């Protein structure tokens, strides 16, 4: 699992009853108010970590998160092309909840061209989907167009997360096997949303590893995130994290 803030992912895996292993791609100096520094792990060492895990452990599913730069994205793609995993969730982490950039421009094309074709599911939020499709997304209809455009770029299935749209309902759109599926819930009014995207993609990966189909995995992961939002932990003075442990499996 290529992630920089892997503790949230590991908590999510534990809550869903699977054993998670982390590959560190970058170290961040951050708190609830923002990211003050990023230290990239050298790409060859990222690849070596993935190879060490896959060569020894039965991997039921994997997910990627912050890949930071083109070399890291390319290294992850190269290993996963050689050593396929049953399910791969690509979370195109581009911007932190605080607004700080986490993916450099040179990495976007590598992400799209090399990792997306390997993915079972790609999970962009609206700003990420806008950057990937070069279109403005202002409505659920735009979300459908964006999902279609991403499918044309080699994505097998895409979950466009609609939390950034205004309104009392939050709509996430799954586009898989040529069909659209909407997941809609009442908006939970909170600023403590740090880690929602990571928890969602980790939850989907965990559920797929446990044998759920894609629709079931997305639904269960969304329910997990909602429980975590309702019981968010207020620790710092910015965007606090969801409560992975209180959310249950």
Kindly list the structural domains of the chain, giving each domain's residue range(s) and its CATH number in brackets, ordered by start.
Answer: 2-247 (3.40.1190.20)
Burial of 231 (0-12, 13-18, 19+ CB in 10 A): middle
Query: In this predicted structure, what is the pLDDT of residue 103?
Result: 78
- Exactly one of 65, 162, 197, 219 is catalytic; name it: 197
Query: In this predicted structure, what is the pLDDT of residue 223?
Result: 95
Query: In this predicted structure, what is the pLDDT of residue 90?
Result: 96
220 backbone dihedrals φ, ψ, rounded to 5° = -70, -40
Question: pLDDT band for position 100 (50/70/90)?
Answer: low
Coil, strand, or helix at residue 183?
strand
How far apart are the C-alpha atoms of 46 and 22, rounded to whole Å?
11
Q: Among this protein's residues, is 198 annotated catalytic?
A: yes
Question: pLDDT band for position 94 (50/70/90)?
Answer: confident
- Exactly one of 198, 203, 219, 228 is catalytic; name it: 198
Question: pLDDT band for position 32 (50/70/90)?
Answer: confident
- Exactly one of 11, 72, 161, 219 is catalytic; name it: 161
Taking 70 as the threshold, does the pLDDT of residue 231 lie above it?
yes
User: Which helix (H) or strand (E) is 121 found in, with range?
Assistant: strand 121-122
- Of the chain, the percentage scoring pLDDT greater than 90 comes to 69
- Exactly one of 25, 97, 123, 196 is catalytic; name it: 196
Helices (H), 55-195: 70-82, 105-110, 126-133, 140-152
Q: Among this protein's residues, is 193 annotated catalytic?
A: yes
Best CA proximity match to 127, nearest among 157, 154, 159, 161: 161
Query: In this predicted structure, what is the pLDDT of residue 3?
Result: 39
Best CA proximity match to 186, nearest among 226, 141, 157: 226
Mean pLDDT over 16-32 rounds to 91
Average predicted confidence (pLDDT) for the chain = 90
Q: Among this protein's residues, is 203 annotated catalytic?
A: no
Q: Among this protein's residues, is 197 annotated catalytic?
A: yes
Least confident stretch, 7-16, 116-125, 198-207, 239-248: 239-248
Whole-prediction pTM: 0.92
29 backbone dihedrals φ, ψ, rounded to 5° = -95, 110
User: Which helix (H) or strand (E) is 27 found in, with range?
Assistant: strand 26-31
- Exactly one of 8, 162, 195, 228 is catalytic; name it: 195
> Looking at the DSSP assignment, which residues form a beta bridge with residue 90?
64, 122
Mean pLDDT over 74-81 rounds to 97
Best CA proximity match to 91, nearest among 75, 115, 113: 115
- Measured in whole angstroms, the distance separating CA 214 from the mean position of its chain's CA atoms is 15
């Amino acid at each position: 699992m290529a992630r920089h803030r892997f503790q949230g992912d590991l908590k999510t895996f534990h809550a869903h009853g699977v054993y998670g292993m982390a590959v560190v791609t970058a170290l961040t100096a951050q708190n609830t108010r923002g990211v003050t520094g990023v230290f990239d792990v050298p790409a060859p060492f990222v690849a070596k970590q993935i190879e060490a895990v896959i060569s020894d452990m039965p991997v039921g599913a994997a997910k990627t998160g912050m890949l930071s730069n083109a070399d890291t994205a390319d290294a992850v793609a190269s290993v996963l092309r050689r050593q396929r995993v049953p399910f791969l969730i690509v979370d195109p982490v581009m911007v932190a909840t605080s607004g700080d950039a986490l993916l450099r421009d040179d990495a976007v094309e590598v992400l799209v061209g090399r990792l997306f074709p390997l993915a079972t599911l790609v999970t962009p939020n609206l700003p990420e989907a806008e950057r990937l499709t070069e279109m403005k997304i202002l409505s659920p209809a735009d979300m459908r167009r964006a999902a279609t455009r991403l499918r044309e770029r080699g994505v097998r299935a895409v979950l466009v997360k609609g939390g950034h749209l205004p309104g009392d309902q939050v709509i996430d759109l799954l586009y898989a096997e040529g069909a659209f599926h909407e997941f809609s819930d009442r908006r939970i009014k909170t600023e403590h949303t740090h880690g929602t995207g990571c928890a969602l993609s980790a939850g989907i990966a965990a559920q797929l590893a446990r044998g759920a189909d894609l629709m079931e995995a997305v639904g269960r992961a969304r329910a997990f995130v909602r429980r975590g939002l309702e019981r968010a932990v207020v620790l710092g003075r910015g965007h606090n994290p969801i409560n992975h442990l209180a959310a249950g499996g």
